Every structure is written in C-alpha cells, then in structure tokens.
Amino acid sequence: MFTRLGSGESGQGGVILIGDAAHVHSHVGGQGMNLGLRDAIFLGDALTRHIHATKTKPRPEADVILHKFATVRRARARIDQAYAGPFVSL
C-alpha cells in the first residue's frame, strides 16, 4: 500500500513538486505534513544555490542542484514510507 512516489518526475517547465504533490504515502506515522515542510525548507536552500550557480555556470550544470534536491527528497520519502509500512498492515 502506498509504495508509489508519483510519476518519478520532480518538476518540469519551472514547476517543482514537493510534499503531497510529489510523494504518495500513508497518513500512518503522521509524517506527511513534516515531509512537506522539510521539502519546502530544502527547496529554499536548493533554489538559493541554483540562482547563485546560474550566475557562474552553464544552466545544465546549475540544474544539477535541483535534480539532486529531488533525488534526496525522494529518498527521504521512501524512508518515511518504509517506516509507516508495518503500521499500515496492523
């Protein structure tokens, strides 16, 4: 149950998905809101670094920062899913 994390895409065309829009998960464990808040905090940092990087690097190199953000946050969502999994089957 709830093993899908969305489409695998984190964003496109100037849109970045975070929170429930990016991660399908169970309400068990109460981590949904926390995950979304952490996504927002990490996104703020990633956007700041991306903006600064675009001033000195080609755009594809700067975009790596946002791709890394998505990879790290997706991994965190999987951890939360794994944590909630045993409780869903109770």
Q: Token pair of 26, please?
A: 């169970």
**Confidence class of residue 1 from pLDDT cuts 50, 70 and 90?**
very low
pLDDT tens for each residue of 59-85? 999 999 999 999 999 898 888 777 776
pLDDT tens for each residue of 10-57? 566 778 888 878 877 666 666 677 888 999 999 999 999 999 999 999
Separation between Cα atoms, residue 2 and residue 40, nearest integer Å? 22
pLDDT at 62: 93
CB 37 within 8 A of CB 71: no
For the chain, domain boundaries:
32-88
pLDDT tops 50 at residue 2: no
